[in-house]
Copies of this chain bind each other. A is one copy, B any other.
Amino acid sequence: MNFRKVNIEQQGKWMYSLSEQLYPICRSITGNGVRQTLSIINDLIPLEISEVPSGTKAFDWEIPNEWNIRDAWIKNPKNEKIVDFKKNNLHILNYSGPVAKKVELKELKNHLFTLPGFPEWIPYRTSYYKLQWGFCLSYNQYKDLEDGEYEVFIDSDLNPGSLTYAQCYIPGKSNKEVLISCHICHPSLCNDNLSGIVIAVNLARLLYMTKPYYSYRFLFVPGTIGSITWLSKNEDKIGNIKHGLVLSLLGDPSAFHYKKSRQGCSEIDQILEYLLKSRKNSKILDFSPYGYDERQYCSPGFNLPVGSLSRKPFGEFPEYHSSADNLDFISPFNLSESLNLMLDIVTVLEGNKAFINTNPKGEPQLGKRGLYDNVGGQGQSKYFQMALLWLLNLSDGNNSLLDIANKSGIEFEVLVSASKKLAKATLLK
């Protein structure tokens, strides 16, 4: 596997353009928006799409009725359409039931959601599990609403149907799996989580062209209910998951934030700690049970080694869950940087073997194998020779290449290359 040849800049543009295509779709935790999204992705990578009927039990949960919406608006007393779902799908309280009636402003206000702190932005709000109806709008618009009778119309339905999710499985040499999960339930919001989706799609596309050691499972699931449903339907597969990442908030320009798995010292945690050391201002956060679907993968009954990768830290930015998280908030360049980190992660994960020194008593004579300077003291390629010495000294079966990188300060890639030379000389196995 060699990702060095990938044109990262080009990939950035490709991912941004896919984001543009997915942006207008009104997604939710169920419904045709999810199906339409998965259909577009299915043209790019092979998906196995599942439909789980409403009413199906998933541990403590139950698949809710399916939600579909066609239109929604508010007309003011002058009969002007002042809020229009067709202009921005954030205007609807996601999962609103149908309504068609006239209401006084005072009653209407019980159904309106705004962001007074950011008066130009429309908030994103949901009510999946309690039937209600509502609209979201900018505070500027809200505060100028005049008294009188308003007409509200929501052409939606909540009927038995199914919850839709998809997987893309890339078989590797081993049946040990790497889980990459992203949520697909947000409507027109970019960083959260079109960025996670397009990076997952792109990584899957690139991995498809290789023969990796690990098998890779990409999950495209609605948040919470989706990952719980997947877990409940795939308990037999969970033992194979050796590493995992939840992807979200990867299109903005912030430094990377990695939240460790609940285990706190799993290999994926170590890999991110290693890779983020050289990424300025990036931060490693301890696990907490709040955030994205790592909450489910790391619930105590599973406790999987799954961390969460993002740039902006979860929830801690004003644009979060608002109309300001739009196509201007992400960029091809930022997406390409995030993809690049994902490629580095895969590279380390795939290359992180533990070797055994076949000649553990004293150092082997590197000189006679052309692996050492002949004139003592004439230091050339010292750094590479140090890599050879560290590998020989620490390859006792207890140290992976990543351990050796951390102990020696030598770059992982140099160790990989040195380990190949030593393996070729049968000094490592």
Is A231's CB within 8 Å of the partner chain B? Answer: yes
Assembly CA distance A301 to B362 (angstroms): 7
By a CB distance below 8 angstroms, the chain B residues around A58 are 362
Chain A contact residues: helix, strand, loop or mixed: loop
Which of B232, B295, B359 interacts with A59 by CB under 8 Å? Answer: B359
Query: Which residues of A (285-327) have their CB < 8 Å from a CB of B?
Result: 286, 288-290, 295-296, 298-303, 321
Cβ–Cβ contact A231 & B262, under 8 A: no
Interface hit among A152-160, A336-344, A375-383: A375-383
- One digit per residue, 1 when the CB lies within 8 angstroms of any chain B CB and 0 when it does not, for chain A 220-235 equals 0000100110011000
Is A241's CB within 8 Å of the partner chain B? Answer: no
Given A368-B129, A376-B125, A360:B290 Cβ within 8 A:
no
By a CB distance below 8 angstroms, the chain B residues around A299 are 357, 360-363, 392-393
Which of B228, B360, B378 interacts with A300 by CB under 8 Å? Answer: B360
Name which residue of chain B comes closest to A399, CB basis: B300
Name which residue of chain B comes closest to A390, CB basis: B289
Assembly CA distance A425 to B363 (angstroms): 52
By a CB distance below 8 angstroms, the chain B residues around A144 are none
Given A125-B375, A290-B389, A301:B130 Cβ within 8 A:
no
Q: How many whole Å from A117's CB to the nearest CB in chain B?
A: 13
By a CB distance below 8 angstroms, the chain B residues around A384 are none
By a CB distance below 8 angstroms, the chain B residues around A364 are 59-60
Q: How many whole Å from A96's CB to the nearest CB in chain B?
A: 11
Assembly CA distance A396 to B59 (angstroms): 17
- One digit per residue, 1 when the CB lies within 8 angstroms of any chain B CB and 0 when it does not, for chain A 374-409 equals 111110000000100110111110000000000110
Is A124's CB within 8 Å of the partner chain B? Answer: yes
Cβ–Cβ contact B393 & A262, under 8 A: yes
Given A377-B124, A386-B290, A302:B224 Cβ within 8 A:
no
By a CB distance below 8 angstroms, the chain B residues around A368 are 129
Q: How many whole Å from A133's CB to the nearest CB in chain B?
A: 12
By a CB distance below 8 angstroms, the chain B residues around A375 are 93, 113, 125-127, 130, 132, 134
- One digit per residue, 1 when the CB lies within 8 angstroms of any chain B CB and 0 when it does not, for chain A 112-137 equals 01000000000111111110101000
Is A365's CB within 8 Å of the partner chain B? Answer: yes
Q: How many whole Å from A155's CB to the nearest CB in chain B?
A: 21
By a CB distance below 8 angstroms, the chain B residues around A361 are 59, 231-232, 299, 301-302
Q: How many whole Å from A89's CB to the nearest CB in chain B?
A: 16
Q: How many whole Å from A406's CB to the nearest CB in chain B?
A: 11
Assembly CA distance A357 to B59 (angstroms): 13
Query: Which residues of A (199-251) have their CB < 8 Å from a CB of B?
Result: 224, 227-228, 231-232
- One digit per residue, 1 when the CB lies within 8 angstroms of any chain B CB and 0 when it does not, for chain A 267-301 equals 00000000000000000001011100001101111
Cβ–Cβ contact B362 & A227, under 8 A: yes
Name which residue of chain B comes closest to A295, CB basis: B363
Given A126-B377, A127-B375, A357-B300, A393:B362 Cβ within 8 A:
no
Cβ–Cβ contact A224 & B363, under 8 A: yes
By a CB distance below 8 angstroms, the chain B residues around A408 are 288
Cβ–Cβ contact A289 & B393, under 8 A: yes
Q: How many whole Å from A422's CB to the nearest CB in chain B?
A: 13
Which of B125, B227, B392 interacts with A289 by CB under 8 Å? Answer: B392
Cβ–Cβ contact A126 & B362, under 8 A: no
Cβ–Cβ contact A377 & B232, under 8 A: no
Which of B125, B224, B363, B378 interacts with A378 by CB under 8 Å? Answer: B125
Assembly CA distance A386 to B227 (angstroms): 20
Instruction: List, sorted by A's number, 8 A–B pairs whose CB atoms are closer than 8 Å.
Output: A59-B359, A60-B363, A60-B365, A113-B378, A128-B376, A130-B367, A300-B392, A302-B360
Which 7 residue pairs of A and B lie closest in terms of their CB atoms, listed nearest first?
A301-B360, A301-B361, A289-B393, A228-B362, A130-B374, A60-B364, A300-B396
